Structures are given as structure tokens and as C-alpha cells.
Structure 1
Amino acid sequence: MDDHTVTGRVMAVLEAVGALEEAATLAALTRHTGIPKPTVRRIAADLVARKILNRDATGYLWGSKTASR
């Protein structure tokens, strides 16, 4: 659900990472959330900087701050 708020969009990206069975590509996150690709890219980059997500060659995965949960 994208309620067009910053929090709603961040939560949509996080929920999509959790719902996808493998590393979430930018394209998969965009399809899953319905949020425009540039916005998903900015949100994901910020979540990587905060270590909530990690990014590798295959896509986005849970980061070190969420790995212990």
C-alpha cells in the first residue's frame, strides 16, 4: 500500500524486500510497490546508507541492522 507519504513509501519498499524470495532488484521493487523507479532508488539508497538494507550484484537484501531480528 502506497499512501503517498514518505513513511508509507519506505514501508512499501521494506515490505517488498521481505516479500520477495530472493534479492530484490530495483525493477522488482518498482513493480511490487507501484512507486516510480527514481523514488524507489532514492529510498533504497538511503536504507543502504543506514545499513537497513544491503545491495550486491543481485539486488537488495536485509542489512546488518536487521540481520539480528
Structure 2
Amino acid sequence: MDDHTVTGRILAVLDAVADHDGPISLAELTRAVAVPKPTVRRIAADLCARRMLRRCADDGGYLLGPRVLELGMRAAAQLDLRQAATPYLQDLFAHR
């Protein structure tokens, strides 16, 4: 989804990579986020430089980077387990 903001485009790229099974190519990423290819290339390169994404050595596709895990771990430490798990437990309960 392109909401025409820098933040929206960055999050769209991260979400598309996270939602894809395995490495996602630049062409697939561009289609997924519906943003011009040069813009997606710049965003992806910057996210790689910041370790939010990484390039797959085999095919050059993109995967989530180690910085995403680091941030997730910090977020988990800042939340208590009950607070973090409540939305997921509610979703499980609603679908049983």
C-alpha cells in the first residue's frame, strides 16, 4: 500500500518482505508495494545498510535483517508477557 509517505513506503517494503515466503526479488517487491522501482530500490538499499533487510547471496532477493530481530527483542522486554500475548490469545479464542 502506497500512502505516499516515506514512513508508509518503508513499512510497506518491510511488510512485503516479511509476508513473502523466502527471499523476494526487487521486481516482486515493487509489484507488492505498488511503488516505482527506483524508489523501492533506494528504500531497500537504505534498509540493508541499516540491517533491517539483507540481500540473499544466492539470488539477490531480500530477507528481513538482524536489526528487525533486535528491535523485536527490545519490544518484548518492554512489554509484559500478558500484554504482548493478549491480542493473539483473543484472536485464537475468537476462531475456535
Could you tell me which runs of 5 or more consecutive residues in structure 2 were left unpaired when the two chains were aligned: 73-96
Could you tell me which runs of 5 or more consecutive residues in structure 1 were left unpaired when the two chains were aligned: none
- Across the aligned residues of Structure 1 and Structure 2, the Cα RMSD in angstroms comes to 1.1
User: 1:29, 1:8 → 2: CA distance?
Assistant: 15
State yes or no: 1:12 paired with 2:12.
yes
* TM-score, normalization by structure 1: 0.91
Measured against aligned partners, the alpha-carbon deviations of 1:12-68 in whole angstroms (never above 9, x if no partner) come to: 100100111110100000010100100000000000000010012420001111235
Structure with a larger share of its residues in strand: 1
- What is the identity percentage for the equivalent residue pairs of Structure 1 and Structure 2? 57
Mapping 1:22-37, distance limit 5 Å: 22-37=22-37
| Moved segments of 4+, more than 6 Å | none
Structure with a larger share of its residues in helix: 2
State yes or no: 1:52 paired with 2:49.
no
Count matched residues.
69
User: 2:33, 2:51 → 1: CA distance?
Assistant: 21
* TM-score, normalization by structure 2: 0.67
State yes or no: 1:43 paired with 2:43.
yes
